[in-house]
Amino acid sequence: MSKIFIGLAFLGILVSLGSAFFYLMRDKGRSNKTVKALAIRVGLSILLFLSLLVAHRYGLIESGGIRY
C-alpha cells in the first residue's frame, strides 16, 4: 500500500512539474499558471516527505541503511 502511495505521489509531482514547464513555454510568463503548478509540486513534495516520516515513525516502512 505504501509503495502505491509513494509511486502516485511521485507521479503527481512529475505531472505538476511538466504542466509548469508547459505553461512556462506556452504563456511566456504572462499568467500565474506556472506559479500555481509549481506551488502544487512543492505541496505534494512536502506531503510526501511528511508522510514518509510518519510511516517510518509508526513502523509502516523500514529504512535499509547504507550498505557497503
More confident residue, 60 or 65: 60
Give pTM, 2 decimals: 0.79
User: Within 13 A of 38's CA, how many CA atoms are on the CB side?
Assistant: 11
Cα–Cα distance, 12 to 53 (Å, whole number): 19
pLDDT band at 24 (very low <50, low <70, confident <90, very high): confident
Is the per-residue pLDDT at 68 higher than 80? no
Q: Are 12 and 44 in contact (CB under 8 A)?
A: yes
Is the per-residue pLDDT at 47 higher than 90? yes
